[in-house]
Structure 1
């Protein structure tokens, strides 16, 4: 069995105010005509396990009241190398006219702020901007366009077990919310006798290569292995692109 590992470059926090370089804090926003759902997700960008703490706060400013209301959730958590974890969520009605700000902060074991994300339904410049309301048709069109652009996995399998691996991999890929712009290719190659081999690649780069075995646990472990290699590849590509932008 042959595997190809991808290197990933790490950058330490070299200056105050540099966030989301070791752990990325992000707010995932899902909207429909009735409400906005916001999920707080932390992603470990390095290949070292980390013990962390998060604070997820919703500020609500009511007219004629000096102090904004605040709902806060916090707790400790850990992240394995390259792991992503959803930690908290809130739902805001589209009929709510108060000013709402959602803040997501991540701290390391020394209580240093290393990740942060912020969301508000109002524009920072104009207080008169209305919350975005999409029609059902717009939501459906946007979802369709996103499906065409991101999260594509192609399949070229020849056997039942090859197809089983594809289904297991795609299910894990979907749950992981990677949703990459790059197309993932799964190809099954016939070998001698009854042996067949799976190759998973992205942009011509091999993520994993292995002989099939008719065991579900084995297929799941290979799917996890491939997902981890994919995350490393995408993070490495992002780091290289960031380096190029700096120069």
Structure 2
């Protein structure tokens, strides 16, 4: 019986410390494909009634047969209550053989991760 209580206490404390992303600040990636060109837009939405100062990092990591590239964009911004905003737009050349990881991270001023979105294109590991 003591064992059951110890396990229950451990699980409750563990679950209480798990981070839930996109609850108050939502990160969203919009990806548009036009032939061999990808247009990537990082979007953010404040789901609260409070103005918030934030910063973001939008990363695009591309690996292919002949070349690899890593592009990151960062910035600070203020998001008004219940506001949605476009943070950054980037375009890259891509084909079906390129594996592309796109990651948008939204942080508060204390570097706590509040929102994230991630897409993997042409992921050969799933096959």
Q: TM-score range by the shorter chain?
A: 0.7 to 0.9
Structure ranking higher in helix proportion = 1
Segments of 4+ in structure 1 off by > 4 A? none
Structure-2 residue corresponding to 1:233: none
Structure-2 residue corresponding to 1:49: 51
**1-structure distance, mates of 2:36, 2:100:** 16
Q: Between Structure 1 and Structure 2, how many residues are aligned?
A: 111
Of structures 1 and 2, the larger Rg is shown by: 1
User: CA 1:73/1:94 → structure 2, altered by over 3 Å: closer, same or farther?
Assistant: closer
Partner SS state of residue 71, structure 1: strand
**Structure 1 position 31, deviation (Å):** 2.5
- On the 8 A contact 2:98/2:122 being kept in 1, the answer is no
**2-structure distance, mates of 1:32, 1:15:** 42
**1-structure distance, mates of 2:47, 2:90:** 25
**1-structure distance, mates of 2:65, 2:33:** 25
**1-structure distance, mates of 2:113, 2:87:** 17
**Structure 1 position 33, deviation (Å):** 3.3
Structure-2 residue corresponding to 1:78: 78
**Structure 1 position 63, deviation (Å):** 3.5
**1-structure distance, mates of 2:69, 2:92:** 14
Partner SS state of residue 111, structure 2: coil
**Structure 1 position 83, deviation (Å):** 0.5
**1-structure distance, mates of 2:69, 2:34:** 25
**Structure 1 position 90, deviation (Å):** 1.8
User: CA 1:19/1:122 → structure 2, altered by over 3 Å: closer, same or farther?
Assistant: same
**Structure 1 position 29, deviation (Å):** 1.8
Structure-2 residue corresponding to 1:114: 114
**1-structure distance, mates of 2:32, 2:19:** 28
Structure-2 residue corresponding to 1:211: none
Structure-2 residue corresponding to 1:100: 100
**Structure 1 position 97, deviation (Å):** 3.2
- On the 8 A contact 2:31/2:38 being kept in 1, the answer is yes
- On the 8 A contact 2:38/2:91 being kept in 1, the answer is yes
Paired residues for 1:224-239 under 5 Å: none
**2-structure distance, mates of 1:60, 1:27:** 16
**2-structure distance, mates of 1:118, 1:100:** 11
User: CA 1:76/1:35 → structure 2, altered by over 3 Å: closer, same or farther?
Assistant: same
TM-score under structure 1 length normalisation: 0.41
